[in-house]
Chains A and B, each alone.
Chain A
Amino acid sequence: MATYVFKLPDIGEGVVEAEIAAWHVAPGDTVAEDQHLVDVMTEKATVEITSPVAGVVQSITGKAGDRIPVGSDLIVFETDVAAVEKKPAMAEAKPAPTLVEPGPAPALAARPAPNAKPVATHRGRPLASPAVRLRALEKDIDLSNVPGSGPAGRITHADLDAFIAGGGRLAVSGGRRKRTTVTEVPIIGLRRKIAERMQLAKRNIPHITYVEEVDITALEELRQHLNAQYADRPKLTLLPFLMLALVKALRRVPQANAHYDEAGGKLLQYDAVHIGIATQTDAGLKVPVVKHVEALDIWQAAAELARLADAARDNRAKADDLSGSTITISSLGKLGGIVSTPIVNLPEVAIIGVNNAVDRPVVRNGQIVIRRMMNLSSSFDHRIIDGADAANLVQEIKGLLEQPAAIFIE
């Protein structure tokens, strides 16, 4: 019998450990070469790991949420061909349910065990003894609302006591019910990553947030004109204009396009402008990065932005697509609100927040007129960026967006 130990490969970028996001195989499974085995998450991206060999999975290490060092044993395969062919039949012959045996727990659960106890219903009715059912009836409690702690979610007297103590009785006597169930959602994977990075940034960076309003009436006209004129090209949103304006504005405040190496006591100021675009996906917040925006024209910027946003939403983004930004733009589109207080994307020093664009009455030349107005809420690392620098950068952007032709003039 030949065994093959598959170790967590180096996923690049100097990653030293990865978090297991989801297993796609379990011990006993027969795996073909290149079959999707497991998803692991690095600092930047979720990576699909595929099998280098064909074989039967003997054991796997770690469960979803666990962090595994690069180079450690991940999966042990049995690669003997005869065994590979024989195994599945044997696995099927086993009796399906396993009695809970005393002794060591299996190395892992193939899927993360939901921590939240489901309300016990069996064949459409709560699982509870006659005495518990009678007590519930007497107290006018619908047992289908009571979480059960017993085997298979059986509702015990203690569960009923807890439900009553928690106001359950009141909860069910009126038309509107108090809800008392607490659902435990494990914070793992991308969500844990986001939580850690947000905490780190908010703790370490003294933020200064500066809000200014921008009249984008002219920019809107230009944008719509371009979209109408060049229907065959990528649809332009406001973002590519903002990206190009940002590139230009950064010439005046170059220290905002930088990484602050706090431990090294230095600021790494970049000529290249790699703009991270904070993007909401079903899995959570992701920041795909449009590289070298200084070298892109408006159409290229729009195309690259669209490609990255789609990739991030479809979970296809490569680690490289999600790393290397020097400055970040955060936009919630129509959900942008009036003002936001974005958190700087560590180790960067500036983040430009885009609020909602709306028609507002404003005063121009002593007259009230209706203009398309949009606020920019931008945060800076105040250790590096002084208030005046922040104001300068934002005013520069404002000037460019209000006179959009200026964006394109060198």
Chain B
Amino acid sequence: MTNIRTCKVLVVGGGPGGYVAAIRSGQLGLDTVIVEADRVGGTCLIRGCIPSKAIIHAAGKYEAMQAHVGAGHLGIRLDKPPILEMKKLVAWKNEVVARLNAGVEALLKKAKVERVTGWATFRDGKTCDVRTADGMLTITAEHVILATGSRAVELPFLPFGGNVISSTEALDLAETPTHLAVIGAGYIGLELGIAYRKLGAKVTFVEALDRLLPLYDKELTRPIEQWLKKHGVEVHLEAKARGLEEKKGKTNLVFADKNGAEHRLSVDKVLVTVGRRPNTEGWGLENMAVDMNGPFVKVDKMCRTSMKNVWAIGDLVGEPMLAHKASAQGEMVAEIIAGHRRAFDPVAIAAVCFTEPEVVGVGLTPDEAKKKGVEVVVGKFPFAASGRALSMEAGADGGFVRVTADKESQVILGIHAVGAHVAELSGEFALALEMGARLDDIAGTIHVHPTLTEAFAEASLAAFGRAIHI
């Protein structure tokens, strides 16, 4: 027997785009249904941002404790090395995820959103069938918000399974691999690779391009390169993975270097992080008559698809594939459906890599600005000159804040930073860009001493050649 449900708003996908759209839609008093086959929270909460940050945090703690073993460090001494119990670490991470997941469920409930667990398959633009535990449910909605997210890209010669894992499995390993090979030195690969290095694994990167983190300029990635070098992490650039050889119970990763010469690495896990692609298959998108934009669903500034009252948000509609972008779009679409005028029109979307050290970027780099024909002025302030950084062992990693401004108007075009804890500066950076700040707005804002944020004000002063502490 098929049940039929009609509603004002149907959200498909319970990630940070979909669940925010549903909560906002519910807040606005719209009859809202959200369909998700898994727990709500999406890649971000279940198998991405949050669990990886938990693992990264624990890895950092474990690594920091090693420094106290033997002779001691900072006057703190451990007689014996700390012992890593990977299963308990994963269990703790799962607790964090479970708590947040329960929080999202509660928020949906509070917003009077109906939660349907199951896999939705669309018949047409406004109707889908969901196979639920209670049988088939057909949902017809006035508005449909597509928020199906993305998945890790699979390499045909290194299909996921067994010892070849994606970021999802990397967050659920029962034990630390002895030798982890990471294919792709983008931010996901670097974050996880670095975390496993801290947890004691030997880690090797195989990257097809000539540098790691290609979205950031070399100045920003240099401190990461230094960390990797210092910690014995090999990075093979311009190298192409070829496949896996299983011989006598041993696993070899085969890759070709830039000259075409083949190499074999004895590994026990291969983490493939070569990108993500939108989830556009398996749920009837082809029946909805919406236009595509390459692999993505095509949308305009209001996240409207080519089909009336069908909306799409998040990773499904394009780069940057970031949770905070998806959430902002979800919130906006709900408000548009409720009759407000909204448009997705950010000045910039900040991006953060929780590498070692961390990298944060918002807006244009100096090179990007120059390519647009803008004459820029750049100010830089190193954390080596920051009292706060030194007082928490964050002054020696080569980190800095760099601000890029239009030379004529002094309007800030981009802010980038690398260094320990810089992810937490991203909010001020994004605010500066959204508010249209000029260099002297930042320089004229009294920043608390001693904090890392002082480096932002100092970098703005440095653009005038007037930094105080360098």
A: residues with CB less than 8 A from B are 94-100, 122-123, 125, 127-130, 133-134, 137-138, 140, 150-154
Q: Say whether B341 contacts A123, CB under 8 Å.
A: no
Most A CB contacts (10 A, CB to CB) among B436, B440, B464 go to: B436
Q: Tell me the minimal C-beta distance from A103 to chain B in angstroms.
A: 15
Interface residue SS majority, chain B: loop
Bound form: Cα–Cα A134–B332 in Å: 11
Number of A-B residue pairs at CB separation under 8 A: 62
Q: Say whether A123 contacts B413, CB under 8 Å.
A: yes
Q: Tell me the minimal C-beta distance from A169 to chain B in angstroms.
A: 13
**Pairs A-B, 5 closest by C-beta atoms:** A95-B465, A127-B436, A152-B409, A99-B464, A154-B436
Question: Given that A122-B406, A152-B410 are known contacts, is A129 also in contact with B434, CB under 8 Å in the complex?
Answer: yes
Q: Tell me the minimal C-beta distance from A141 to chain B in angstroms.
A: 11
Nearest to A130 among chain B residues (CB) is B434
Q: What are some 25 contacts across the A-B interface (CB < 8 A)?
A: A94-B465, A95-B463, A95-B465, A95-B466, A97-B377, A97-B407, A97-B439, A97-B464, A99-B461, A99-B466, A122-B436, A123-B372, A123-B374, A123-B413, A127-B436, A129-B434, A129-B435, A130-B435, A133-B345, A138-B341, A140-B341, A151-B441, A152-B410, A152-B436, A154-B436
How many chain B residues touch the partner (CB < 8 A)? 30
Interface residue SS majority, chain A: loop
Question: Which chain A residues border B435 with CB–CB below 8 Å?
Answer: 129-130
Q: Say whether B377 contacts A137, CB under 8 Å.
A: no
Question: Given that A95-B465, A123-B374 are known contacts, is A137 also in contact with B343, CB under 8 Å in the complex?
Answer: yes
Q: Say whether A122 contacts B411, CB under 8 Å.
A: yes
Cβ of B438 under 8 Å from chain A: yes
Q: Tell me the minimal C-beta distance from B442 to chain A in angstroms.
A: 11
Cβ of B455 under 8 Å from chain A: no
Question: Which chain A residues border B409 with CB–CB below 8 Å?
Answer: 122, 152-153
Q: Tell me the minimal C-beta distance from A144 to chain B in angstroms.
A: 13
Bound form: Cα–Cα A293–B441 in Å: 66
Q: Say whether B463 contacts A97, CB under 8 Å.
A: yes
Cβ of B342 under 8 Å from chain A: yes
Question: Which chain B residues border A153 with CB–CB below 8 Å?
Answer: 409
Contact with A along B333-353 (1 / 0, CB 8 A): 000000011110101000000
Interface positions, chain B 38-68, Cβ under 8 Å from A, are none
B: residues with CB less than 8 A from A are 340-343, 345, 347, 372, 374, 377, 405-411, 413, 434-436, 438-441, 443, 461, 463-466
Q: Say whether B463 contacts A125, CB under 8 Å.
A: no
Bound form: Cα–Cα A343–B453 in Å: 68
Question: Which chain B residues border A134 with CB–CB below 8 Å?
Answer: 342
Q: Tell me the minimal C-beta distance from A94 to chain B in angstroms.
A: 8
Nearest to B372 among chain A residues (CB) is A123
Q: Say whether B407 contacts A96, CB under 8 Å.
A: yes
Nearest to B409 among chain A residues (CB) is A152
Bound form: Cα–Cα A124–B347 in Å: 11
Most A CB contacts (10 A, CB to CB) among B377, B435, B441 go to: B435
Bound form: Cα–Cα A100–B466 in Å: 12
Most B CB contacts (10 A, CB to CB) among A97, A123, A128, A129 go to: A97
Bound form: Cα–Cα A62–B34 in Å: 70
Question: Given that A122-B409, A127-B411, A129-B434 are known contacts, is A100 also in contact with B464, CB under 8 Å in the complex?
Answer: no
Question: Given that A123-B374, A138-B341 are known contacts, is A98 also in contact with B464, CB under 8 Å in the complex?
Answer: yes
Bound form: Cα–Cα A382–B406 in Å: 62
Q: Tell me the minimal C-beta distance from B460 to chain A in angstroms.
A: 9
Question: Which chain B residues border A128 with CB–CB below 8 Å?
Answer: 436
Q: Tell me the minimal C-beta distance from A127 to chain B in angstroms.
A: 4
Question: Which chain B residues border A95 with CB–CB below 8 Å?
Answer: 377, 463-466
Q: Say whether B439 contacts A125, CB under 8 Å.
A: no
Q: Say whether A99 contacts B443, CB under 8 Å.
A: yes
Q: Tell me the minimal C-beta distance from B81 to chain A in angstroms.
A: 50
Bound form: Cα–Cα A94–B465 in Å: 8
Bound form: Cα–Cα A153–B438 in Å: 11
Question: Which chain A residues border B440 with CB–CB below 8 Å?
Answer: 99-100, 151
Question: Which chain A residues border B340 with CB–CB below 8 Å?
Answer: 138
Q: Tell me the minimal C-beta distance from A363 to chain B in angstroms.
A: 69
Nearest to B461 among chain A residues (CB) is A99
Question: Which chain B residues border A94 with CB–CB below 8 Å?
Answer: 465
Bound form: Cα–Cα A97–B425 in Å: 25
Bound form: Cα–Cα A94–B372 in Å: 25
Question: Which chain B residues border A125 with CB–CB below 8 Å?
Answer: 347
Nearest to A153 among chain B residues (CB) is B409
Nearest to A124 among chain B residues (CB) is B372
Q: Say whether B342 contacts A152, CB under 8 Å.
A: no
Question: Which chain B residues border A137 with CB–CB below 8 Å?
Answer: 341-343, 345
Bound form: Cα–Cα A140–B408 in Å: 30
Known: A97-B407, A99-B464, A123-B413. 12 other contacts (CB 8 A): A95-B377, A95-B465, A97-B410, A98-B464, A99-B440, A123-B406, A129-B435, A138-B340, A138-B341, A140-B341, A151-B410, A154-B436
